[in-house]
Amino acid sequence: MNLINIEKITKAFTDRKLFDQASFSLQEGEKVGVIGINGTGKTTLLKMLAGMEEPDEGNITTANHVVIRYLPQHPEFNSEMSSLDCVLEGNVSDENRWTIESDAKAMMARLGIRDFAQPAGQLSGGQRKRLALISVLLSPADILLLDEPTNHLDNEMADWLEEYLKKWRGALVMVTHDRYFLDSVCNRIVEIDKGSVYSYQTNYSGFLELKAQREEMEMASERKRQSILRVELEWMRRGARARSTKQKAHIQRYEELRDRQAPVQDAKLELSSVSARLGKTTVELEHICKNYGERKLIDDFNYIFLKGDRVGFIGPNGCGKSTLMKIIAGIVPQDFGQVVVGQTVKMGYYAQEISSEKPEGDARENSIDFSYMDPEQRVIDYVKDTAEYIHTADGMVTASAMLEKFLFPPDKQYSPIGKLSGGEKKRLNLLRVLFTSPNFLLLDELSNNLDIATLTILEDYLDRFEGIVVAVSHDRYFLDRTMKRIFAFEGEGKLRQYEGGYTDYSMRKAAEAEAGQEPPARTAIKANTSAAGKGQRIRGPQKLKFTYKEQKDYETIEGEMANLEDRIAALEKDIETSAHDFVKLSQLMAEKEELETALEEKMERWMYLEELAAKIGEQ
């Protein structure tokens, strides 16, 4: 059954045309993911489907008696109403109040809202978004329209919502940048691109393949058009030798080919910068503790960041992830412990929230806090406050040229920041962070408000980035794509370490749950937890522990093994090309044998340390 039908709509804002003769339909039971770069009209499409906006041209037809519920990107509530009343508003009658209220409280607790009486005016933007999501999910509906439902959800909440929507039997249209979510929930992907709507009857993985095929077909058609056009142009230059009627048709064909619009390539964000050199000492966290009132956020956390580290922090909302990032950046002081920062470390801190009010704290000397944006300041001045030029792989680039690479055309560069969309502010914030040429990147919820195309380019940039990357993220794809180590907040202020990305972490947790294992009570052993430290807090007797040397070896040995394997692989290639140079071949073989011996020793040491770590973890 066709629930909603959109026919040849046109919609423009000022001089920007979002939709140009676009069509769309929604069938019963379809779960549609809407994607496209920021500013293409994804939110506008949802609002038109919800009847909140009208197209300039075209028709939108909705089937009779269809009930639609809409989750806005930035919901608003009466600041005086309690959290529970915000959820129940519009959902409760005398007959169903008991059931609905019980379901509402259970869902609120599931999404981390436990103070049901707290006024909405005291809630954060993320908490209000979760309240609105609960209200929509509790309502009887035939169609759900969800704008960024996974924003402000931690990993466990996102997993829960994913399962909920997979089982939900109604139709769904959703805007999200969570690629795993799109892959798991949606059976159809709709892409908004240059005013048109393209539909793909598949999930996100299938969409990537089909879009590549579509673009290749468009380019093939354009190559064919250009080839025919060259022949036609040559014919026009030579003059017609055929009858006049045939000549007229030929001219018309030439003009039609000439005037046909070629496929338009999207402007793509370009990321390129050269990071500052990183010395031997990077950043060391020693016995970091942080409390808020009686609540313990971080309890005795130790870690030494190594060159090339890619470390992700995950955990429930409000557990202290952003606080830890601010402690590292020097914006928030720790209650106990110290942060040792090397002289060559140059931090770039990408804040989760962008504020129009100046922060009270000051970042440490070798890091800059970009969480503040003056809404009256011009875009180009915001960047020039950092530097007039940036050194990139292609040479020196001006602030204005770099803004163009970040999809800010010249006319927008002189607009006040207050007129930018949320996604544009995030993109501008990212540019200014990278403009400092940092070698230690702190990224707090980078994937919020950034479109998939931008995230993909950023992930490629991080592959080439030679410094250290530390990220807080709920984007499971981003964590899998970029991170090599995960720290999870587990228990009261305790962090546990997992090697690999988010999928490796979740598989480890699932295996432990199946085996009925209890996780180690201590912070991850690899986190350089020195036994001799002021204020160290150890729960229960410990019969085994790492020595300082063992702790250092356990932290670095996997990287050393990988380095040895890479050197051996490179030598094997050199040996293949030196078969006729017996002197050089003998030297290479001797070097290879030496490296293989060193690798065997490292592997034996690694096995011993792994066994010791397992025994310590079982205590």
* DSSP class of 277: P
Q: Of 435, 505, 512, 507, which is closest to residue 473 (Cα–Cα)?
A: 505
State residue 84 phi and psi, 5-degree precision.
-65, -40
The single residue listed with the structure tokens 């402000």 is: 152
pLDDT in tens, 520-559: 544 443 333 333 333 333 323 435 566 767 777 888 888 8
Q: Per mean pLDDT, which range of 37-51, 165-179, 403-417, 541-555 is the poorest?
A: 541-555
Checking if the pLDDT of 441 tops 80, the result is: yes
Q: Which of 143-152, 248-257, 362-371 has the highest mean pLDDT?
A: 143-152
Average pLDDT of the chain to the nearest whole number: 80
Residue type, 380: I
Strand partners, 196: 193
Given a contact cutoff of 8 angstroms between Cβ atoms, the answer to whether 508 and 184 are in contact is no
Residue 76 has pLDDT above 60, yes or no: yes
490-525 residue pLDDT tens: 888 899 999 999 999 988 888 888 877 655 544 443
458-to-6, 105, 464, 555, 600 alpha-carbon distances in Å: 34, 39, 10, 28, 37
Mean pLDDT of 553-577: 81
Least confident of 33-42, 170-179, 207-216, 321-330: 207-216
Phi, psi of 97 (to 5 degrees): -60, -45
Alpha carbon distance, N-terminus to C-terminus of the chain: 60
Residue 112 in this model has a pLDDT that exceeds 80: yes
Q: What is the dihedral of CA 246, 247, 248, 252, to 10 degrees?
A: 100
Is 0.75 topped by the overall pTM?
A: no
**Which range has highest mean pLDDT (51-60, 565-574, 584-593)?**
51-60
pLDDT of residue 359: 52
Task: Look at residue 533 in the predicted model and tell me its pLDDT.
Answer: 37
pLDDT digit string, tens, across residues 361-399: 555 555 455 567 888 899 999 988 887 887 776 678 888
Cβ atoms of residues 440 and 470 within 8 Å: yes
The full 3-state SS of 89-132, as one line of letters, equals: CCCCCCCCHHHHHHHHHHHHHHCCCCCCCCEHHHCCHHHHHHHH
Average of pLDDT values for 51-71? 93
Distance of CA 83 to the CA centre of its chain: 29
Judged against a pLDDT cut of 90, whether residue 7 lies above it is answered with yes
Band of pLDDT at residue 281, cut at 50, 70 and 90: confident
Question: Does the pLDDT at position 268 exceed 80?
Answer: no
* Angle (nearest 5°) at CA 396 between 395 and 402: 110
Q: What is the helix, strand, coil percentage profile of the chain, to 5?
A: 40, 20, 35
The Cα–Cα gap between 412 and 39 comes to: 14
Note whether 423 and 38 are within 8 A (CB).
yes
Average pLDDT value for residue range 82-93: 83
Q: What's the CA gap between 499 and 393, in Å, rounded?
A: 31
- Distance separating alpha carbons of residues 355 and 372, to the nearest angstrom: 5
Q: Would you place residue 205 in the very low, low, confident or very high pLDDT band (cuts 50, 70, 90)?
A: confident
Burial class (CB in 10 A: 0-12, 13-18, 19+), 286: buried
pLDDT at 527: 38
Rg of the chain, C-alpha, whole Å: 29
C-beta contacts of 590-598 below 8 A and 24+ residues apart: 592/568, 595/564, 595/567, 595/568, 595/571, 596/568, 598/564
The pair phi, psi for residue 58, each rounded to 5°, is 95, 180
- Distance, in Å, from the CA atom of 128 to the CA atom of 136, rounded to the nearest integer, reads 12
**Per-residue CA distances from 567 to 467, 573, 593 (Å):** 21, 10, 12
Give the dihedral of Cα atoms 241, 242, 247, 251; nearest 10 deg: -50
Confidence tier at 175 by pLDDT (50, 70, 90): very high
Across residues 79-91, what is the average pLDDT? Answer: 86
d(CA 165, CA 180): 13
Residue 49 and residue 42: Cα distance in Å, rounded?
11
pLDDT at 456 over 50: yes
Given a contact cutoff of 8 angstroms between Cβ atoms, the answer to whether 571 and 592 are in contact is yes
pLDDT bracket for residue 453 (50, 70, 90) = confident
Would you mind telling me the total number of residues written for the chain in this entry? Answer: 619
Closest CA to 322 of 470, 130, 425: 470
pLDDT at 255: 58
pLDDT of residue 188: 93
466 or 215, greater pLDDT = 466
Residue 376 burial (CB < 10 Å; 0-12/13-18/19+)?
exposed
Comparing 17 with 55, the larger pLDDT belongs to: 55
